[in-house]
Amino acid sequence: MAGLFGTLNNATSGLSANQVALQTSSNNIANTSTDGYSRQRVNLETNSAYTVSGVGTLGTGVKSAGVERIVDDFVRGQIRNANSNYQFAAEKSDVLGELENIFNEPSDNGLLTQLSTLTSSWTELSNNPESDTAKTLVAENASTFTDTLNSMADDINSLTNSTVQSVSKNVLDFNNKVEQLQNLNDQIYNMSSRGESPNDLLDTRDSVLKDLSGLADITTTTDNYGRAFVQLDGQDILTSTSMSTLSVVTTSNSSGSTLAVGGDTSEVGTTDTQYSLGTVVLSSSADSTDYHKIDISSGTIGGLQAAIGETQDRLQDLNDFAETIAKTTNMIYTGGSSSTTGFFDLGADEGNYAANITLNSDISNNSTGISAGKSTASGDGTKAAAIAALANTKLDYPVSDTELATYDSDSMSFTSSQTGSTFANEFNNTVTKNGISKQAADNTATAQQSVLTQLEEKDSSVSGVSLNEEMSNIIKYQQGFQANARLLSVVSEMLDTLINNTGV
């Protein structure tokens, strides 16, 4: 359109474009402190020009080509990875810290102190084999020692069960987040397919993906519409046409496993497969019984699973420790006739020795009946001395039948193992394993926190709202709006002159 009306059209388009830009800047300023908000920018493009014969090409103004989110998707992907690694280490460290408190070493009333006290009471009895007081001390110290082992094993089991419940809670959260993401995908698709820009929905989508990355090591992909799809351990969790559900193994035995379906502990499912406690399994829906194990290597869920594995390993170490002490002590006390009864009873639940070890009820009821010597001769404290000497004997854990068979009834001793360790060293090794693992988790958490902070700062520098920049834009768009408004006024005056004063 040539002439004044073309100029009028240019000014009108300029007014409209600057108005849209001003509104976008005002929205950025309003959301300066909104978590997860990405600043937006209006893309302005020139309208298609036209050619006037003998004059040349003339412009037809400006148009708004869309409102764009300013984001760096690569950085946000790195943030999700760092967040997943940080949450893994932090959760693992927290649980191992609780396990460290259960071991309570070093301390004046810890298990090692009680073991030393028990050994000393055996030595005292060997020096005074007829002393009822010395026998009572042996019984009392042994009872205290077994009670501490029982309590420690119970606390570890409680910690494991509590951690499994935490896995269930986080899996329930994961499933809810995936469902939320599915709803967002539908809304994003509906807007994008109409040619609209779902910027706020995309911000919410990115926030949900970050939350999911904090729970597990997800892999994400997006399509041309902006929809996000999720995989876990190479398995599809959310696609454009399907959504799978995660469940958690809460109990397990040789006949199968019990599940918290969808992470909801009130929804119980079963499977014939025996899985480890806290294992996450995948099903195509909450109603499906076709489960597949999912390996999660990071995120809160992965950290909790790793911690469960550590607590179970330390409990096994404690069971091996209790078994070795009980069986070797019993062998000496019974003259080599029994390793399962005599001074200590190991209980009927084979393998769970730490939780079930007790002082023999006959000794507990009548400590004066403790046999201190190999014979009944007065002053014979050889048996008590041999049991006290066990504290310095290197043994394997758990003690094997072959090793028990090396017991020499004459010397009342076992053949030392070349690869073994003493009672105190073995328990120290168990405590040290936990300490090393916790320290490694702490160091990883600290390092990943630093990486995450740097990445979030980088993301903020790209996507965060700068008030200085927005105020500068407001002045620029304001002046553009005023200039175009002035141009409209000038064209209006020119049209008035043309129509009313020229007689045309």
Q: Is 418's pLDDT higher than 60?
A: yes
Predicted local distance difference test score (pLDDT) of residue 183: 96
Predicted local distance difference test score (pLDDT) of residue 165: 95
Predicted local distance difference test score (pLDDT) of residue 4: 73
User: 245 — phi, psi (to 5°)?
Assistant: -120, 140
Q: How confident is the model at residue 288 (pLDDT cuts 50, 70, 90)?
A: low
Beta partners for residue 292, in sequence order: 282
Q: Is 30's pLDDT higher than 70?
A: yes
Q: How confident is the model at residue 299 (pLDDT cuts 50, 70, 90)?
A: very high
Can you list the pairs that 397-405 forms with residues at least 24 positions away whose Cβ atoms lie under 8 Å? Answer: 397/317, 397/320, 397/321, 397/323, 397/324, 397/421, 397/426, 398/319, 398/320, 398/323, 398/324, 399/323, 399/324, 399/327, 399/328, 404/327, 404/328, 404/331, 404/339
Predicted local distance difference test score (pLDDT) of residue 456: 93
60: exposed, middle or buried (Cβ count in 10 Å: 0-12, 13-18, 19+): middle
Percent of the chain beyond pLDDT 70? 98
Q: How confident is the model at residue 174 (pLDDT cuts 50, 70, 90)?
A: very high
Cα–Cα distance measured from residue 161 to residue 74, given in angstroms and rounded to the nearest whole number: 39
Q: Write out pLDDT tens, residues 388-402.
A: 999 999 999 999 999
Strands 292-294 and 280-283: antiparallel
> Cβ atoms within 10 A of the Cβ of 339, count?
22
Take residue 462 and report the two structure tokens written for it: 């790209």
What is the maximal distance between C-alpha atoms in the chain?
145
Predicted local distance difference test score (pLDDT) of residue 17: 87
Predicted local distance difference test score (pLDDT) of residue 287: 62
Q: Would you say 357 and 348 are in contact if contact means Cβ atoms under 8 Å apart? A: no
Q: Is 503's pLDDT higher than 60?
A: no
Predicted local distance difference test score (pLDDT) of residue 498: 76
Cα–Cα distance measured from residue 420 to residue 405, given in angstroms and rounded to the nearest whole number: 16
Q: Is 333's pLDDT higher than 70?
A: yes
Cα–Cα distance measured from residue 244 to residue 270, given in angstroms and rounded to the nearest whole number: 18
Q: Is 496's pLDDT higher than 80?
A: no
Q: Is 504's pLDDT higher than 70?
A: no
Q: Would you say 282 and 175 are in contact if contact means Cβ atoms under 8 Å apart? A: no
**Distances 232 to 171, 298, 467, 483 between C-alpha atoms, Å:** 13, 11, 39, 55
Cα–Cα distance measured from residue 187 to residue 205, given in angstroms and rounded to the nearest whole number: 11
Predicted local distance difference test score (pLDDT) of residue 286: 58
Half-sphere exposure of 240 (CA within 13 A, CB side): 9
> Cβ atoms within 10 A of the Cβ of 207, count?
16
Q: Write out pLDDT tens, residues 347-387.
A: 888 889 999 999 999 999 999 889 989 887 888 899 999 99
Q: How confident is the model at residue 84 (pLDDT cuts 50, 70, 90)?
A: very high
Q: How confident is the model at residue 62 (pLDDT cuts 50, 70, 90)?
A: confident
The answer, yes or no, to whether the previous bond of 198 is cis (omega within 30 of 0) is no
Q: Is 305's pLDDT higher than 90?
A: yes
Q: How confident is the model at residue 134 (pLDDT cuts 50, 70, 90)?
A: very high
Q: What angle do CA 159, 161, 167 make, to 5 degrees?
A: 105
- Burial letters for 274-313: b for 16+ Cβ neighbours within 10 Å, e otherwise? ebebbbbbbbeeeeeeebeebebebbbbbbbbbbbebbbe
Cα–Cα distance measured from residue 54 to residue 253, given in angstroms and rounded to the nearest whole number: 92
Cα–Cα distance measured from residue 334 to residue 6, given in angstroms and rounded to the nearest whole number: 112
Q: Write out pLDDT tens, residues 272-282.
A: 889 999 999 99
Per-residue pLDDT, averaged over 222-229, amounts to: 94
The amino acid that residue 465 corresponds to is V
Mean pLDDT (the chain, rounded): 91
